[in-house]
A = this chain, B = another copy of it.
C-alpha cells in the first residue's frame, strides 16, 4: 500500500467555500473578508460585537520535548478539532501561521499531517493573507523613521551606538545578520552597524499576537524601546511617532484568518512569534474570538511543554485572562524510545525497556502541567511501527502518574481515529476540574521569576547569571518593568540547557547569558544559549528545485 504524502492528500481534498466554514461558527458572509475562495479574515467589527458572549472551553495541546522522531503536536491539534466535531461538538482550532522565508531553505511544511491537516497548504506556506508582510512593513517603517530622525537633527538625542531596533525580512539571508547602513555620504545619513532578523523574530509579531484589539496594539507598539540616549534613557516607538502609522499598516493583519481542516471544520491560523525569544503561541485575538464562536477551542504552543506550555500559561493566559480547561500532552512511542536512549536509526524493533525508561520525560511534563492546576490527558500519536506492548507500557506509566494515555490514529484515519481522545477531552473540560493559576505572581522580582521557572519546571538546582545581568534586571524593575513575566529562550530538546540531555534530568544549572526587554510585547527575555534570529540557506536550498510544473502545480515546495 503506497502512503500518500501530505501535499497529495491536501491537493486531493475538496475544499468548501470559506463562507460555508464561517457559517458553522455563525459568522455572516459580510463579516468574512475573503482572500480567495478558501481563506478569509473575520472582520474587526464582528469581533467587537462578541464581547458579551460566554467563552467555550479552552484546550491546550502541548508535547514532550521534541525528538528527531517527531511528536505530531499540530497534527494532534488538528485531529482533535476534527474529532470533537465528529462526536457532535462545536469545535474550532487555533494554530500559528508559517513563515515564508524558511520554506525556500528546507522544504515547507504542512499544518498537521496525513488526514489531520489544515488547507490550503500552499498558500499557508507562501503569502497567505499577507500578515507577515504587514509586520515586515510596520517593523521597517519604524527602522526608517529612527534613522530619519537622526538624519534631520536627532532632537531626541538618540545614541547611535545604542539603537536596539534592527530591521526585518521574511527570508533566510545570513548576509543581513550584521550590516553597516548609512554609507555613501551626507545624503544617506550617519553610518552605523546594525542588522536584520527574520520577520517572525520581530517584537511587532509578538505584539500582534498578544494585543487584544487595535487600541491595545497601538499602545503596545508605542511602548517598544528602540534606542537609548547617552544618559541611558529609553527612546520609545511613541517618541519616534511611528505607532499610529504602524497600526494602520497592521489593521488588516490584526483580523484573524479562517481556513478549514480536511474535514471542513473551522481553523483559525493567525500569528507566529518565535518560540524562544518570544512566546510561540498563535494570536490572543484569534483564540478569544474562537472561544466566543465555538464550544471547544483546541490550540497549541511551540516546542515542548517546558517552554511552550509554560509560556502559554505564564504569558499568554496571564496577559489575556485566559484559563485552559484541559491540557493534551502529545507523546509517541518512538519519542519515548529516543528519550530512553535509542538512536533514530534503531527505532524499528520493539524495545519496551527503552520505552519505560524514556517515559520519565513524559512523567515530568505531566507533573509540571498539573502544577498549573489543569487536568492533563496524554495523547499517544500512533505510528504503524508501535507494538502493543510498547503502547501498554506508556499507558501503564501514565496511569501511575495519575493521568491517562489514549492512542490516536488521526494521521491515518482522520477524526475516526481520535474520537476516544475527543470524548475524554470533552468530558474533562466539561467537568470543570481545572483551577488554573500561573506559576508566579506579577510582583515577584524578575530574577526570582527566572529561578521559579528553572527550579520548578526545568528542575534545575540553580540559575547562574553574572552581575551585569542581575543589574540589568534591577534597573528594569526600577524603571517599572518588574511586573512583566519572563520569556525563557532555552533549547527545546531538553529540560536542561544541554540539548543532548534527554529524559528527566535534574540538579543542573541554568546559565542566563543575556536578558532583553520587550516592553511592547510585555515580557523580559532570558537567553540561556545562542539564539539565531536570522537563519541562513543550506548548500542546496529548496528554492533551487521549486517551480511551477506544466500542470500549473507548485513543485519542490514540499
Chain A interface residues toward B at CB < 8 A: 30, 33-37, 44, 100, 104, 126-127, 130, 133-134, 136-137, 140-141, 143-145, 147-148, 151-153, 167, 169-185, 187-189, 193, 195, 214, 218, 241-245, 247-249, 251-252, 536-537, 539, 541-548, 552, 554, 556-557
Contacts and interface: CB of A to CB of B under 8 A. Distances in A.
Nearest to A30: B37
B173 A178 contact: no
A36 B35 CA distance: 6
Contacts of A539: 152-153
24 contacts: A34-B35, A133-B133, A140-B171, A141-B543, A144-B171, A144-B172, A145-B537, A145-B541, A145-B544, A147-B175, A174-B188, A175-B189, A176-B181, A178-B182, A179-B182, A180-B183, A183-B193, A187-B536, A218-B547, A244-B545, A245-B547, A247-B548, A248-B547, A248-B554
Contacts of A130: 127, 130, 133
Contacts of A104: 141, 144, 245
A30 B15 CA distance: 13
- 5 tightest Cβ-Cβ pairs between the two chains A and B: A244-B547, A178-B184, A133-B133, A245-B543, A144-B173
A188 B151 CA distance: 29
A218 B548 contact: yes
Most B-side CB within 10 Å, residue of A193, A249, A542: A249
B182 A175 contact: yes
B248 A126 contact: yes
B170 A137 contact: yes
Nearest to A253: B127
Contacts of A34: 34-37
A122 to B, nearest CB: 9
Contact of A249 (B126, B173, B249): B126
Contacts of A552: 44, 214
A125 B88 CA distance: 45
Nearest to A134: B127
A228 B151 CA distance: 35
A174 B189 contact: yes
A541 B248 CA distance: 15
Contacts of A541: 145, 148
B126 A151 contact: no
A176 B537 CA distance: 23
Nearest to A144: B173
Nearest to A184: B178
A487 B171 CA distance: 31
A141 B178 CA distance: 18
Given A148-B541, A241-B544, 6 more contacts: A127-B249, A130-B130, A147-B174, A184-B195, A243-B547, A244-B547
